[in-house]
Structure 1
Amino acid sequence: MPHAWIEYSKNIANEAEVGSLGQCVHDAMMETGIFPLAGIRVRINRIDDYLVADCKPENAFVHLAIRIGEGRDMETKTAAADLIFERLSAHLKPLADRTPLAVAFEMQEIRGPHSYKMNNLHQHLAAN
């Protein structure tokens, strides 16, 4: 963990900011200093069918959801979420200056014993 899901509306698929959005989120997650590299996953999904606000075709959206493992205090989680949203917002500002854009972000903690993992990336990263 953490795992990130980025969804964006089809009408901004060819914008430069969207093309580099995954790397922006990955870098921000690393910059927090609280997530292990081998646990980071970023998924990027274009949403072809959507309605935004008054349904005008130029209206666009980006939604970022990050799920993290439990065990961090509220101050640490808030600082990480603030940093990630700051980086996301700064990255998308030029796009927002050109087009109607709704940006949303949420960070959720996965609790409990029902979070299963099998991950050998830690060993592969250590070996390289």
Structure 2
Amino acid sequence: MAEEWNIIFSYTRKQAIEDRVLIDVTEQANQLGFKVNTCVTDHLYADYLVPPAGLEGEGQSLEGRLTDLLFRTLIAAKASSAGDRTEFDVLFLMKPGRWNTAHVLAIMGPGDHGEPVLTIMLPEDE
């Protein structure tokens, strides 16, 4: 018995990327061997990927931190048997000599047109 639902509101992945709620990192992900559109949430991006002030002399960059996250995602996905999602921890330098562990989720799901897409996020972003 099929029910008809009136859609009150829809928010597409494309709109989320345009609004910068999701940050498209597909180009960098492709360089590491990812084969799907890949985004990180704005929360993960702002809180961990953008290097905090004071780390300029510590060899920290957005590109390097993103590469570390993507590489760790790739390793976790290959080791996971969970199917469409994996959880793992990533260490980020937050101040000289102070590291924070971020618990991260990587979830494969359907994109706006049913294509597979990957979203990397913090648990509270799910």
Could you tell me the TM-score, scaled by structure 1's length? 0.33
Q: Larger % of helix: which?
A: 1
Could you tell me the TM-score, scaled by structure 2's length? 0.34
